[in-house]
Structure 1
């Protein structure tokens, strides 16, 4: 099922807590089918459109579907079901219907799955009113945000980076309580710059910021956790103090980083405070290469994060 296996345990816990939760995927755990019944655990044909379309209908009847799309790239196959229907139902029906559903999927991993399967499309869904977008940066937050997502009253896209499983404290992750959507977390504090890292890019950003701290250069490192809603105030309060912004993401700069920068530039006085001191440490705006030799150059590495901070800190001519 999920790339982060600990999420299976969390979802199993939530299925026991809430009888209205149902699960749809192309592969489902046999023990779930035995415990919860095939009416709640649906093993589906390989048709993402059918799964998400069925979930929208189920949500309209009062159920709370969770759909596992496997790869985030497959979210492009269900744009009609998500964008034109799930996201718009409350508006089209004057609040008569809503679609409380969760769609989970895995983003990029170091697996050489090629340009069609190694994508981070959450920036696209940031542009869709009515859809909440969660991109956790740790295994603990992945579990906490899943618990939050199944309690939401509208559609939630939960994007999980496979890298989160590496070095995760599973005991801590399993006991993580729900966290509010729209509440960023500071992973480090400092005045040299504000580093905003998304999802799987949080780990290299932590390492890059730690390397800088060892040299006496401390930065604010912020993990937004959710992109919709975005904790603009937390980011803006940091930027008013540091005046420098580094955006770090596994996806291209034209995706979520550009969306975040746009939201920040709507804050009065913030563009002047930044004065153009903005850097991106992201994948290039190109398809992800299939070969390891090329793909290695598309990842946001710790040294690139540190170099971006140093570059912004240099005195201007």
Structure 2
């Protein structure tokens, strides 16, 4: 009579195989669930993208439609050799980096408050999310008024700070480059920090309380628990939050259009594209700019994913 005893290695192999089969099944189900949405998005976006790529190869201006001519990659060469394009790209990168970095810090603080607080939790979460519910154009007009020389409250409330004046010599926030950039970034941070905090709150709720309590029992301070336990276990959520906000911030348009209209060298890449297509009717150059903007966004997304190096299988609990 013989008996079969499963060795630890064989048991581990079966567990890994089961986990792999489960992951494959979940991936297959996920693809089936998102397929209808992906098909609809491709139908809606594929044709405009192909049309933009096609027009970018032509010299084409709406005011002179008969002068349309195939120029190949000449439009891209014109754009990449223009200092204005690189200046606007630099403005966009500065706004994106500064805004997302500050939003990440403030959003994480808001997420910690919303996660830990017990009293009036619903009211606090609602109040924090109010700015995100306001239309961007409305919030941009509000912040334009706030930084106004004559009627804005910023100069009046913060006149005690160095460099800020009120009254006759009131600070003109939209009179030079960096103050105007500061006002734009403040409006962007105020509007979208709640979105960042909402994503971080979802990730914070996934951190095991047992791990935090175990670290506390071992004598870890609050800062040590934050950097060694909480943040490492939130890496996937932080990556998603930074990715979404960075891509959105890189396409900033509304705030600039309302607050400065590109004056004082505050143009962004999206605003430059708008000027070429809508104001100057340059469909060829504008289409080339939109293609470059699209490729830059793809590159930015790839860099962020590579930077965080998140193991999505482990984040889902499959490893």
TM-score by length of structure 2 reads 0.24
Query: Whose radius of gyration is greater, 1 or 2?
Result: 2
Higher relative contact order (CA 8 A, sep 6+): 2
- Structure holding more strand per residue: 1
